[in-house]
Amino acid sequence: MRKITIEKNYLPHAEGSCMFSLGDTKVLCVATVEEKVPPFIEAEKKDQGWLTAEYSMMPRSCNERISRKKLQNGRAQEISRLIGRALRACVDLEQLGKRTITIDCDVIRADGGTRTASINGGFIALVLALKKLHEQRLIKTFPLKGYLAAISVGFVGDEMVLDLSAKEDNIADIDMNVVMMDNGDLVEVQGTAEGHTFSKKDLDEMLKAAKKGIEKVIKEQKKALDNVQCYNVQ
Amino acid sequence: MRKITIEKNYLPHAEGSCMFSLGDTKVLCVATVEEKVPPFIEAEKKDQGWLTAEYSMMPRSCNERISRKKLQNGRAQEISRLIGRALRACVDLEQLGKRTITIDCDVIRADGGTRTASINGGFIALVLALKKLHEQRLIKTFPLKGYLAAISVGFVGDEMVLDLSAKEDNIADIDMNVVMMDNGDLVEVQGTAEGHTFSKKDLDEMLKAAKKGIEKVIKEQKKALDNVQCYNVQ
Amino acid sequence: MRKITIEKNYLPHAEGSCMFSLGDTKVLCVATVEEKVPPFIEAEKKDQGWLTAEYSMMPRSCNERISRKKLQNGRAQEISRLIGRALRACVDLEQLGKRTITIDCDVIRADGGTRTASINGGFIALVLALKKLHEQRLIKTFPLKGYLAAISVGFVGDEMVLDLSAKEDNIADIDMNVVMMDNGDLVEVQGTAEGHTFSKKDLDEMLKAAKKGIEKVIKEQKKALDNVQCYNVQ
Amino acid sequence: MRKITIEKNYLPHAEGSCMFSLGDTKVLCVATVEEKVPPFIEAEKKDQGWLTAEYSMMPRSCNERISRKKLQNGRAQEISRLIGRALRACVDLEQLGKRTITIDCDVIRADGGTRTASINGGFIALVLALKKLHEQRLIKTFPLKGYLAAISVGFVGDEMVLDLSAKEDNIADIDMNVVMMDNGDLVEVQGTAEGHTFSKKDLDEMLKAAKKGIEKVIKEQKKALDNVQCYNVQ
Amino acid sequence: MRKITIEKNYLPHAEGSCMFSLGDTKVLCVATVEEKVPPFIEAEKKDQGWLTAEYSMMPRSCNERISRKKLQNGRAQEISRLIGRALRACVDLEQLGKRTITIDCDVIRADGGTRTASINGGFIALVLALKKLHEQRLIKTFPLKGYLAAISVGFVGDEMVLDLSAKEDNIADIDMNVVMMDNGDLVEVQGTAEGHTFSKKDLDEMLKAAKKGIEKVIKEQKKALDNVQCYNVQ
Amino acid sequence: MRKITIEKNYLPHAEGSCMFSLGDTKVLCVATVEEKVPPFIEAEKKDQGWLTAEYSMMPRSCNERISRKKLQNGRAQEISRLIGRALRACVDLEQLGKRTITIDCDVIRADGGTRTASINGGFIALVLALKKLHEQRLIKTFPLKGYLAAISVGFVGDEMVLDLSAKEDNIADIDMNVVMMDNGDLVEVQGTAEGHTFSKKDLDEMLKAAKKGIEKVIKEQKKALDNVQCYNVQ
């Protein structure tokens, strides 16, 4: 597994932020809190908040430059939806109150694992924003259900690889992204075999390895958030 | 599991097509063969073909009308990518030769399971198109690696449900889509818990149920394609 | 004239619907009723309803596949406007009340006459929706002014052809679409000569033939709607 | 019928142009000649030219300002198609050679009849451009099949009105646009009854009146083009 | 400096308008008054009006035709912003009251200096609109701070040129646009050296020449607006 | 003047890059070299290269989040054009050869002066990329004409302010951006008075102050690029 670096409060004016590095992959994760909820929640008259995410790659994040127009594609929207769905799993939206947290994940440099780095760094930004709301006494109970992290795992030929780099990802036969809580519960499992297949046994092995990887990520997250002491639900 | 109906060759002028029904869900699946490959294959000078898919819902496929503009969204693109990826797993793209097969999946009526119905019906359209190419002696070896099908499975409270209807899907805590070959190998596993989590045990149970469901779907696919006797790789 | 087939209530969950076939041309016509009116009626504070239509071809409705992007063109918008204008002629919008009926016409297969098939099938969907409103006692008087149908007629060389197929349409020198009420009154006459001209005598002959064709279509419409006995005003 | 004014060669740098006024309606019509043909003609390897038209209203052409975004709508595309189709009827595209003439019709002021003014003024611009090509000996035979003009006619209550102003158009029950050659042959007949119907007798009367109106327009066109003496096919 | 021609009230139905010619450059400038302010003023609850501008070139305004799609580009937006900013400098927005004036500048023919012609003609349209508001007693004090005009100046090699034509603009090493009030105060100075540089001395010389040019333009503006006697702030 | 920080080679995989900070304003500037030229240079068969720039703000660069859709506006395009034009002034495009350098300027944090920071940081990225090309012996002569920097200057009431922060910019009556070479020659002067005016004396004072500011920026640029010793034309 590649080295994790977390630069907390990278944008001090934002509610929560960090520059999250996973090897050479680097994602700027920023949480914005707005005192409104989307129309579909307003319409249902639910007394709850919302969390959404937006993922985007920067033009020269890859080895070759990609035009800004081509970067706004289906893949980016799919990953945005994944990040939002994953992070919603660890927040108590009712306790959050009638506000929306938007997590912007902008990929500064892409060397594989941009979606897992976005979830992991997005979690940091989210918790920092929740902490700010809590400190300002805008929310009574700290609405975090637990720590959450993501990791990729796959097979390159017969060899299982954890936290694939771009080079490994390109030649991998099977690619799986796993999102998990700190209690071991699964939030999202996306196993994909582009032009290949995999057995139930492969799946089990990959899940086992992913669990170990996620535990390491959560350890780093806890370290980064230690000073703010905000990781327990009160 | 809901009733499956397959109206083969629904559009006789297309290379392959069927109207695939899964309970009240109804998807028109059409395969088009074009004698060209996308630029990225042309650029790599690979001697192979390609398969791509496009998924779209019709404005009144749901209970309420959705405007055409709103139907072209990230969700539709994500499902299009899933269908294409899944169906590419069962085709030998090198044996297909330098041509592209496009699978259009247009949802006439949506009552849950539109993505699995699209994969299942898309498979029928694909095989019919391959058969036409084979009969016209445009391809020598029949480039099908095996039968492939998809099913959804989830938990509504504590109860596991196979092949969720729209009503069940809306109240499900966990939702998983599984794509599998007839030999039991996995092609895609997408387990999602919107605002919830699930254990490894839950995952195993869901996969077990999914396998049984997929076997039933493949039985129907084999029946539908029986007369054309094209399901073995030669 | 080609054979007409009407599959009534093709989408049981919609207010009105039918699959309308005209020879090999096949259009899914669906009526949606919404309890609101467009802003321009709201602004004028008129106490009336509205009817609008949307026409779209499916990617593989023609012999060659057309990309979804290319299908959203000026021609589709022009035909949508024609269908809406034509069907508004047979509805009493004041008696309809403050609601909007949207007629979606999606061309499953295109072999010429897709706009006339859309009007003819759209009429069926419209009347079924009006009937539902009437049965639910949401409208007091049945707001239908009369039966309405459309037909194409043209000249291929010196020979007049009624209800042109795609093949005939491509080689036709003159092409005319006529929309008429069951009492013989005209609603729309669109005679077009791409690169050609036609005399007043040609026009009269075409209108005469169109009238006979429209009478046949209305006979089929009446048969299809017979059981609902809704073709009289009041 | 309203007064016609034709300012010939309004844009001296263009191949052909005029400011065409019909009462208070004012349209700038400009013909551009380009030495290329659209892909669909190139593909069919036809040895002919093409003519296309683009119609657009300016933001303050009407009494109230319309935003530029709203001006690019289906109606504008529909009218563009009509103008192009109409003007193609009077040009011999084979004699034109492998070039494209684009007729831009920009409505400076709109007081009804913008589409007929566009066709009438577009004809002037077209002939001036053909004349320039002929003088430069780029085409051998003058490729004009005859004079062509358009007029609107309708019914306001029981009264028939020729060349409707915006005010009359708004209250008209029936509205018809007629495009005709100088020999009386019809090119396009578009009779529309928004929420109304009309009899065959009404149609005949309107066509009769339209013919007289068109004769007057052609008289003005001939006068405007007199000095260039280009109105005979050689 | 090229000849200036001003056709006042070119569109009598608009609040203010003129056709402004600067040599062969011709811009239709139209002022529209609407009784509303943009959201950002509404939000700040300011008791003032607003002025905005939209600049657009017509397809055949240049020697070669430019497609309508290509005309909606960054350059057009940049010039629109410049025109709006410049004209806002001469209007007292508080005295204008809660209304918006939109200045549409549509370039009929482009031979260099389209942005200065738009500002100069836009000023005429603006004053005519203010005059109409004043005459209708909708505004008490005439909210004009002074006359305002614009001119371009540049260097072609060593020679300074005032009011550059398209031909001169293309070969100019330095190009500067100056907007000035009649009292000599500057509103906007945009000096640009595409691939070149210029000294402070060059800048001073250009500003001196621009001042003389602007004085000539204002003389023409005063003449054109003479009869309306509206050029003094009361 | 605010503190300048330059993190050179922020993206090691790019041809040239830096994170440029100007007080709290932070811009990631990246140079990409591609071995092709835009169509308009290809068309003119000129034997030269090209330089273009793209400026974009990130959603949470300001105090409030701005949606990604709103960020792609005319202002961004205007600034992109300014950066490209400015940087082209210091490069010898003929010596660059048939290649394009794209300078991406993505604003991580915006506290005023984003366009000057983009030019200043873009210059660093550009020189680093040129150096790489020179080291790889792809270009013979180092194609840099001199150092180039930009600064903003304005008046807040009667007080002149150099290098305006967002807060100062919002209340400034006059705002000017100056781009200058190290020899004191001007490249771009954009003085703007939103709703105000300024005298020639004000302009002269601002230019004088700007010159001093630019000299300080160039000193920092020289320091940052010292080790690469690439700032002299050979």
pLDDT the model gives residue E21 = 98
pLDDT the model gives residue B197 = 92
Q: What are the DSSP calls for A118-175, one per residue?
A: HHHHHHHHHHHHHHHHHHTTS-SS--B---EEEEEEEEETTEEEES--HHHHHH-SEE
Q: Exposure of B187 by Cβ count < 10 A (0-12 exposed, 13-18 middle, 19+ buried)? A: buried
CA-atom Rg of chain B in angstroms: 18
pLDDT the model gives residue E6 = 97
For the residues E123-145, what does the mean pLDDT come to? Answer: 93
- Map residue C143 onto helix, strand or coil: coil
Alpha-carbon gap, residue B218 to B233, rounded angstroms:
16
Low-confidence residues of chain F: pLDDT under 70: 227-234
pLDDT the model gives residue C234 = 47
Q: Tens digits of per-residue pLDDT, B201-212?
A: 999 999 999 999
Alpha-carbon gap, residue F175 to F172, rounded angstroms:
7
Cα F183 from chain centroid? Answer: 17
Name the token pair of C69.
Answer: 């992007």
* Cβ neighbours of A220 (radius 10 Å): 17
What is the edge-to-edge ordering of all strands in the sheet holding D174-181? Answer: C159-162, C148-156, C174-181, C186-192, D186-192, D174-181, D148-156, D159-162
Residue % of chain C over a pLDDT of 90: 86
Pairing of strands C148-156, E4-8: unpaired
Q: Tens digits of per-residue pLDDT, E161-215?
A: 999 999 999 999 899 999 999 999 999 999 998 878 999 999 999 999 999 999 9
Type and span of the H or E element at A88: helix A74-88
Q: Choose the closest CB to F81 out of E74, E191, E202.
A: E74
Q: What is the ipTM of this complex?
A: 0.93
Distances (CA, A) of D11 to A118, D31, E61, E110, F48: 57, 10, 8, 10, 36
Numbered residues of chain B with Cβ closer than 8 Å to any chain C Cβ: 11, 13-14, 17, 28, 30, 32, 34, 54, 56, 58-60, 63, 65, 68, 102, 104, 106, 108-109
Backbone angles phi and psi of D129, in degrees to 5: -70, -40
D23: left (phi over 0), alpha (psi -120 to 50) or beta: left
CB contact under 8 A, E109 and D59: no
- What is chain A's pLDDT, residue by residue, as a tens digit (234 residues)? 999 999 999 999 999 999 999 999 999 999 999 999 999 998 888 899 999 999 999 999 999 999 999 998 889 999 999 999 999 999 999 999 999 999 999 999 999 999 999 999 999 999 999 999 998 999 988 899 999 999 999 999 889 999 999 999 999 989 999 999 999 999 999 999 887 899 999 999 999 999 999 999 999 999 999 755 555 544
Inter-helix orientation angle F74-88/F114-135, to 10°? 40
pLDDT the model gives residue B74 = 85
- Map residue D80 onto helix, strand or coil: helix
Alpha-carbon gap, residue A17 to A37, rounded angstroms:
21
Q: Choose the closest CB to D60 out of E14, E56, E60.
A: E14
The residue among A13, A34, A67, A107 with the most chain F CBs within 10 A of its CB, best to mutate, is A13
What residue of C is the nearest CA neighbor of B29?
C60
Q: State yes or no: pLDDT of B230 exceeds 60.
A: no
Name the token pair of E131.
Answer: 């005059």
Please work out, in degrees rounded to the nearest 5, the angle formed at the alpha carbon of residue C59 by the alpha carbons of C57 and C65. 125
Pairing of strands D174-181, C186-192: unpaired
Q: State yes or no: pLDDT of E122 exceeds 80.
A: yes
Cα A50 from chain centroid? Answer: 16
Q: How far is C26 from chain B (nearest CA, A)?
A: 10
Alpha-carbon gap, residue F79 to F177, rounded angstroms:
11
Closest CA to A207 of F191, B207, B19, D52: B207
Task: List CB contacts of F42: < 8 A, sequence separation 6 or more.
Answer: none
Q: Exposure of F42 by Cβ count < 10 A (0-12 exposed, 13-18 middle, 19+ buried)? A: exposed
Cα B29 from chain centroid? Answer: 9
Do the Cβ atoms of A12 and F109 come closer than 8 Å?
no
Do the Cβ atoms of F52 and F63 come closer than 8 Å?
no
Type and span of the H or E element at A170: helix A166-171
Q: Which amino acid is at D71?
A: L
Q: Tens digits of per-residue pLDDT, D59-81?
A: 999 999 999 999 988 899 999 99
Alpha-carbon gap, residue B64 to C44, rounded angstroms:
27
For the residues D86-92, what does the mean pLDDT come to? Answer: 95
Name the token pair of B190.
Answer: 């997408």
Residue % of chain D over a pLDDT of 70: 97
Please report all neighbours of A, defined by 3+ CB atom pairs within 8 A.
B, F
Q: Tens digits of per-residue pLDDT, D131-174?
A: 999 989 999 888 999 999 999 999 998 899 999 999 999 999 89
pLDDT the model gives residue C233 = 47
Q: Tens digits of per-residue pLDDT, C76-125?
A: 999 999 999 999 999 999 999 999 999 999 999 999 999 999 999 999 99
Q: Tens digits of per-residue pLDDT, F204-213?
A: 999 999 999 9
Do the Cβ atoms of E121 and E30 come closer than 8 Å?
no
For the residues B172-198, what does the mean pLDDT come to? Answer: 93
pLDDT the model gives residue A196 = 84
Which chain F residues are Cβ-neighbours of E188 within 8 angstroms? 191-193
Residue % of chain F over a pLDDT of 70: 97
Closest CA to B10 of B33, B25, B35, B27: B27
Confidence band, pLDDT 50/70/90 cuts, at residue E234: very low
- Map residue A59 onto helix, strand or coil: coil
Q: How far is E197 from chain D (nearest CA, A)?
A: 34
Q: How far is F41 from chain A (nearest CA, A)?
A: 20
Numbered residues of chain C with Cβ closer than 8 Å to any chain B Cβ: 11, 13-14, 17, 24, 28, 30, 32, 34, 54, 56, 58-60, 63, 65, 68, 102, 104, 106, 108-109
Q: How far is D13 from chain E (nearest CA, A)?
A: 6
CA atoms within 13 A on the CB side of D222: 13
Which chain D residues are Cβ-neighbours of E58 within 8 angstroms? 28, 30, 104, 106
Task: List CB contacts of A69: < 8 A, sequence separation 6 or more.
Answer: none
- pTM exceeds cut of 0.90: yes
Across A219-233, B90-104, B161-175, E48-62, least confident range: A219-233
Q: State yes or no: pLDDT of B229 exceeds 60.
A: no
Closest CA to F175 of F86, F115, F105: F115
Residue % of chain A over a pLDDT of 90: 85
Please report all neighbours of B, defined by 3+ CB atom pairs within 8 A.
A, C
